[in-house]
Homo-oligomer: A and B are copies of this chain.
Amino acid sequence: MKVVKFGGSSVASASQMKKVASIIHSDAERKVIVVSAPGKRDANDIKTTDLLIDLAEKVIDGSDYNQALSRVVQRFEDIVVGLEMDNDVLEQLKENIINVIESHQIDAWTMDALKACGEDGTALILAEYLKQSGSEAAYVNPKEAGIVVSDEPGKAQVLPESMERLYQLRNRNEILVIPGFFGFSEEGRLVTFSRGGSDITGSIVAAGVEAELYENFTDVDSVYCVNPTIVNQPKNINVLTYKEMRELSYAGFSVFHDEALIPAFKKRIPVCIKNTNNPDAPGTMIVAERPDQQGEVVGIASDDGFLTLFVSKYLMNRELGFGRRLLQILEDEHISFEHAPSGIDDMSVIIRESQMNEHKERKVVARIENELEVDMVSIERNMAMIMLVGEGMNRTIGISGKATKAFNDVDVNIEMINQGSSEVSMMFGIKAGGLDRAVQSLYKAFFAI
């Protein structure tokens, strides 16, 4: 059994919905479908969820919301008409929205209930369309599916009892279409997840029904092995492990929120990222383990905007608790750090520049000087980080040599190196100015063969 999630661009229009239906029909294992709300059809379009937020704000304000309502209905009407469906589903969908508006009492509940209408309407339409196309299909409301969540409007957390209830969906024979993005509290109130929450629904449903595969359809063929704004038309990654995906997320690589993946990760369910517009492309598989592990580099993540906090103190390594106290000062100031490579008498802490403004910098430096009695503390900004990613990579003799040579070849000095025993990544810290040419050189060394 496969759980298949379609993102906003995959359900943005009637023509996209036809592709979705065709993808579902092409594989009898695609039994549970999770949908987002219709996204942008072109760069100037507005996402349905944003139209719904606009509508909710007007309802809450008590201002005239008729135009806002029309715009939402129009989005769905375009799809229904394009799919040559009769008007029943549109009427039902409209009625649902008006019911929410008319029962408005508490702002946060109305906001959540209206926002959810995007996914809910899409699921209604898709289920009906699949039926018209001759499939046995059913719309399944998250309440019926058993998605029980905490009562935190706009940031619901899935409660553990959902898993057992979702497992019951395996007993059903039809294709089940579930709207993403929301669940119901124990009191029966509709509550939404944080934005992008359809991925949470997809992952929790995949975990709950113990799917053999969780397919996540979006608008890219696969994950690139390197940032395509630095290297032109880079290679795709076919198979990634969860750990590798996390390491690559350093560079904003992630196609979806990695928090959303936790339920699937915990059940070790493989995930496949595929393209609705090119479903025959193999996509990128994300798996718990790769059996044919070669110990190769699978991707290069890179990002700038880092700073290094450097602290030096004679006999530092004899001082029990020094590192802990340094990190405590950062934690007190709500600064999270990325890495902390160290020598005998010094420690460098790598921090995203966005974490530390000048005010915090002065405070942290003063505290380190006073509380840790160091010999020297300094901060260097404009640093960039490059991560070579690949499970088992560090078992392969020669990879670090090949990497350092790639830096040398383009005259980029390695300021910091950090490689734990995780065997998943090797981090290089450099001055930001050398970032692009270092990444290009590494790509050439590891991929352009």
Binding site for B on A (CB under 8 A): 242-243, 246-247, 249-250, 258-259, 262, 265, 308, 310, 312, 314-315, 317-318, 320-321, 323-324, 327-328, 330-331, 334, 336-348, 380, 387, 394-398, 400-401, 403-405, 407-408, 411-422, 424-427, 429
Question: Hey, which chain B residues are within 8 Å of A405, CB to CB?
Answer: 401
Q: Is A246 a contact partner of B344 (Cβ separation < 8 A)?
A: yes
Cβ–Cβ < 8 Å partners of A380 in chain B:
421
- B243, B318, B341, B396: the one contacting A339 at CB < 8 Å is B341
Q: Quick check: B314 and A324 within 8 Å, CB to CB?
A: no
- Shortest Cβ distance from A401 into chain B, in angstroms? 4
Say which residue of B262, B347, B420, B424 sits within 8 Å of A420 (CB atoms): B347
- By the criterion CB–CB under 8 Å, are B348 and A420 in contact? yes
When the two chains form their complex, are residues B407 and A404 in contact, meaning their CB atoms are under 8 A apart?
Answer: no
Contact B321 A331 (CB under 8 A): yes
Contact A344/B425 with A259-B315, A262-B315, A394-B414 known, Cβ cut-off 8 Å: yes
Cβ of A418 and Cβ of B421 under 8 Å apart?
no
B397 near A343 (CB under 8 angstroms)?
no
Among B327, B330, B407, B416, the residue within 8 A (CB) of A421 is B416
Chain B residues whose CB sits within 8 angstroms of the CB of A398 once the complex forms: 408
The 10 closest A-B pairs by CB, nearest first: A348-B420, A401-B404, A324-B327, A346-B422, A341-B420, A417-B419, A400-B404, A348-B421, A321-B331, A417-B417
With A243-B345, A246-B344, A344-B247: A338-B314 Cβ-Cβ less than 8 Å = no
| Shortest CB distance A322–B (Å) | 9
Chain B, Cβ-Cβ closest to A338: B317
User: With a CB–CB cut-off of 8 A, which chain B residues contact A250?
Assistant: 344
Tell me the bound Cα distance from A116 to B367 in angstroms: 42
Write the chain B residue with the least CB distance to A341.
Answer: B420
